[in-house]
Chain A
Amino acid sequence: MVEELVQDAFVEFDRVQKSYDGETLVVKDLNLRIAKGEFVTMLGPSGSGKTTCLMMLAGFETATSGEIRLDGRPINNIPPHKRGIGMVFQNYALFPHMTVGENLSFPLEVRGMGREARAEKVRAALDMVQMGDFINRRPAQLSGGQQQRIALARALVFEPELVLMDEPLGALDKQLREHMQFEIKHLHERLGITVVYVTHDQAEALTMSDRVAVFNNGVIQQLASPEDLYERPENSFVAQFIGENNKLEGTVEGYEDDLVLVRLADGAITRANPVKCGDPGSATLISIRPERVWLEGETNANTTEAEVLELIYLGDHLRCRLRVHGNEDFIVKVPNSAGHRPLVVGERTRVSWNAQDARALDPL
């Protein structure tokens, strides 16, 4: 487990629970250890508890039970202004009645820093985000991307070791968002700060993070590197939430070597990689990534009949919707490469995948 690699955790959630109404838990038994200098993303659908975790870390919400530690110190009872954590808010929260310079100067001022030292730091922070010319502007005079940079500079200007980001790129258009992802990533690498990032955009999480914690129903479903998360999802929720995914429902028939035999809805038996499935007779869900399936070509034990239902031309590849084992939403990505025979809607073909790539998980 990756968690065990984190020996001296810089940020640590220890059996943290949070309830707003005293009846339901928004965060259930959260255990998370983040190493110094790490970029960890909390990813999940809205209402999954990820923002609540961030707010508890920042000090705006109190944990109902459990302990949050920063650099070994419990911080449950430390007010937000004494935690020394930088934060970038979803709507940037730049003070509208102050100029950019005053906004950046504010955290230094409340720390009692002298005028000249402040001016120097503000200038350096603005240069860091290439916004040096905007020092006298008001936030309302800036575009979304520029406000984003200022918010970033403000969160960094007092040199916190930990920076929290709450869906900071949510309001930007796609192109700018992708550009800012790289800028934030580079800043993280250059400054060596620890970043806890919250988003519901899986592409963003995979691009930027060292590790991603996938949240659902107040529980971390999986905490892993982007690659592990995509290639080796540990349960059905993660498999469904991250990337595209073909589902085949069935029941466990038995085990053979290190594979599991699954009887599918149409009665056929297929072989899969037993990741999280139970004893013979229990239900399971087989998850196969579309790019791990091929049409025609070499055959193996999992090769089966398929009918082409729909073709979508996407330039570099064709999205091909098939009926496989009775599932009408089986997607295969066919590369648009030379020598590939054109497919026709309605034609019958065959599909194959390696048993190792078919991951038998818990039923949804």
Chain B
Amino acid sequence: MTKELPADPHVAVVATAGGVEDGPLTMADGTSLKSAMARAQFRARLRAFLLVLPLLAFVVITFIMPIGELLKRSVYSPNFHDNMPNLVAWFAKHPPGTEPDESAYAALVADLRLLKKTKKAGLVGTRVNYELPGSRSLFTKGARKAKKLEPPYREALLKLDPKWGDPALWQVMRAAASPYTMNFYLAALDLKRDPSGKIVPVEENRRIYKMLFARTLALSLLITFLTLILAYPIAHLLATLPLSKSNLLMILVLLPFWTSLLVRTTSWMVLLQSQGVINDALVALGIIGDDGRIQMMYNKTGTVIAMTHILLPFMVLPLYSVMRTINPSYVRAARNLGATSWTAFRRIYFPQTVPGIGAGALLVFILAVGYYITPALVGGSDGTLISNLIAFHIQKSLNWSLAAALAALLLTGILILYWLYDKLVGIDNLKLG
């Protein structure tokens, strides 16, 4: 065989075709081949576009726009800016560091009177309250009493509540005067600005988010690893069994999918709680004493057990679909060539399942990072994840901006991991089925 012979016969054909013509190809009527192709394909492209249009519109309206809106909230918080025009104007006129003088207090009182009229004192107070807890009542009370205040306003306000003279309050108000702020991101990372504007960590006892991010990451990795360990052998069995038997097993694997997530989580509660089935059985068998019941729920253990179980099918399915395509003759060939069954697995079988491992791990990890119901129900305080805090800020504390900042950080983290995965494994190696 000569060196010149191309491996792919088509290469040779294309090469000769290209060699005949010099310059761009033209059609019989003189137009270029490219524009003729574009014309010919326009209708097909239009058709394809119209086919996806409904879904595209649906996704834009129900997915991309809400997420965009939420992400905007993480940096855009206009309540103070919109409702305190006089004070905002004073802040704009005087550079940071200026002591609030009588004109500042006059602007403040004017705004408080305005708040009374527009009934927005609560909103503004909440905005300031985010960064300086305990200030909401300051604003509602101030707005209520603003009508009666007489100049000089500084003394009048300080008499009403000495907190009005707090430099920290003025610092926060100056920051809130701008509708755009990074402070929610700082808060989401357990950071804040000190009176001089420097970014410093918050007090030890109020640090919570970084720890939660770390716990979410660690638990998600642990759950991903556990599902992989548990799913790999069963996926292999499913892939090698005859189809009739593997179908039955597959139904068993998918069975949890057909049960409500809530039901599954609750059944774990029945099993795992300290008066639950497992502990009762252990006590009855005399393995542990009645006072030595194992705490398996309302802590990390509960979260890990329940989530591993719930996410297991998401690992089994990609692994199975990849393993199904691996011809058993590869392992046979390796054995025949002198490899022990372990070497054949390690060198031949395992590398070919990597795309499935990647897909399953990515799927389980991303689902685990955002998981909410299960940790909320079985996690206790020790087993909650960052998504539970996001839910808390959306439903309870109503600090949507902080929730948005936390969600944005979580999203960024996942995108970074995704990028790392692409660098290390290659995203085109991903096989979901």
Chain A interfacial positions (CB closer than 8 Å to B):
58-60, 79-87, 89-91, 93, 95-97, 106-107, 110-111, 130-131, 133-134, 137, 141-143, 146, 154, 158
Let me know if B17 is at the binding interface, CB within 8 A.
no
Tell me whether B348 and A146 are in contact (CB under 8 A).
no
B357 to chain A, nearest CB (A): 13
In the complex, which residues 243-258 of chain B have their Cβ closer than 8 Å to any Cβ of chain A?
none
Q: A60-B332, A93-B333, A95-B348 are in contact. Are A81 and B340 (CB under 8 A)?
A: yes
Let me know if B3 is at the binding interface, CB within 8 A.
yes
Tell me whether A158 and B337 are in contact (CB under 8 A).
yes
Residues of chain B within 8 A (CB-CB) of A141 are 7-8
Residues of chain B within 8 A (CB-CB) of A79 are 335, 341
Q: Mark B320-346, 1 if CB is under 8 A from A, else 0.
A: 000000010110111111111101100
Residues of chain A within 8 A (CB-CB) of B329 are 89-91, 93
A-B CB proximity, top 6 nearest: A107-B337, A93-B333, A93-B329, A80-B335, A87-B336, A110-B339
Tell me whether A106 and B334 are in contact (CB under 8 A).
yes
Let me know if B1 is at the binding interface, CB within 8 A.
yes
Residues of chain A within 8 A (CB-CB) of B352 are 96-97
Residues of chain B within 8 A (CB-CB) of A142 are 7
Cα separation A141 to B6 with both chains bound (whole Å): 11
List 19 A-B residue pairs with CB atoms under 8 Å apart, sorted by A's residue number. Answer: A58-B336, A59-B335, A81-B336, A81-B344, A82-B338, A84-B338, A85-B336, A89-B333, A90-B329, A91-B327, A93-B329, A97-B352, A107-B337, A107-B338, A130-B1, A133-B1, A141-B8, A143-B7, A143-B8
Let me know if B117 is at the binding interface, CB within 8 A.
no
A267 to chain B, nearest CB (A): 54
Q: A91-B327, A133-B3 are in contact. Are A110 and B337 (CB under 8 A)?
A: yes
Let me know if B347 is at the binding interface, CB within 8 A.
yes
Let me know if B351 is at the binding interface, CB within 8 A.
yes
Q: A130-B1, A146-B7 are in contact. Are A81 and B332 (CB under 8 A)?
A: no
Not counting A84-B338, A93-B332, a sample of 14 additional A-B residue pairs whose C-beta atoms are within 8 angstroms of each other reads A58-B336, A79-B335, A86-B336, A87-B336, A89-B333, A96-B330, A106-B337, A106-B339, A106-B347, A110-B340, A141-B8, A143-B7, A146-B7, A158-B337
Tell me whether B332 and A89 are in contact (CB under 8 A).
yes
Tell me whether B332 and A137 are in contact (CB under 8 A).
no
B326 to chain A, nearest CB (A): 9
Number of B residues near A (Cβ < 8 Å) is: 24
A348 to chain B, nearest CB (A): 53
Cα separation A60 to B337 with both chains bound (whole Å): 13
Residues of chain B within 8 A (CB-CB) of A110 are 337-340, 343
Cα separation A91 to B332 with both chains bound (whole Å): 12
Chain B interfacial positions (CB closer than 8 Å to A):
1, 3, 7-9, 327, 329-330, 332-341, 343-344, 347-348, 351-352
Tell me whether A81 and B335 are in contact (CB under 8 A).
yes
Residues of chain B within 8 A (CB-CB) of A130 are 1
Tell me whether A93 and B338 are in contact (CB under 8 A).
no
Residues of chain A within 8 A (CB-CB) of B8 are 141, 143
Tell me whether B7 and A154 are in contact (CB under 8 A).
no
Tell me whether B337 and A134 are in contact (CB under 8 A).
no
Residues of chain A within 8 A (CB-CB) of B7 are 134, 137, 141-143, 146
Tell me whether B3 and A154 are in contact (CB under 8 A).
no
Q: Find the B residue at minimum CB distance from A141.
A: B7
Tell me whether B339 and A93 are in contact (CB under 8 A).
no
Tell me whether A93 and B327 are in contact (CB under 8 A).
yes
Q: Find the B residue at minimum CB distance from A96.
A: B352
Q: Find the A residue at minimum CB distance from B9.
A: A143
A86 to chain B, nearest CB (A): 7
| Contact pick for B334, options A59, A95, A134, CB 8 Å | A95
Tell me whether B340 and A97 are in contact (CB under 8 A).
no
Cα separation A97 to B343 with both chains bound (whole Å): 15
Cα separation A58 to B334 with both chains bound (whole Å): 12
Cα separation A107 to B336 with both chains bound (whole Å): 9
- In this complex, the member of B337, B343, B344, B347 whose beta carbon has the largest number of chain A beta carbons within 10 angstroms is B337
Residues of chain B within 8 A (CB-CB) of A83 are 336
Residues of chain B within 8 A (CB-CB) of A80 are 332, 335-336
A129 to chain B, nearest CB (A): 10
Cα separation A86 to B333 with both chains bound (whole Å): 9
Residues of chain A within 8 A (CB-CB) of B338 are 81-82, 84, 107, 110-111, 158
A62 to chain B, nearest CB (A): 14
A288 to chain B, nearest CB (A): 43
B245 to chain A, nearest CB (A): 14
Residues of chain B within 8 A (CB-CB) of A91 are 327, 329
Q: Find the B residue at minimum CB distance from A137.
A: B7
Q: Find the B residue at minimum CB distance from A129.
A: B1
Cα separation A49 to B99 with both chains bound (whole Å): 99
A165 to chain B, nearest CB (A): 12
Cα separation A96 to B1 with both chains bound (whole Å): 23
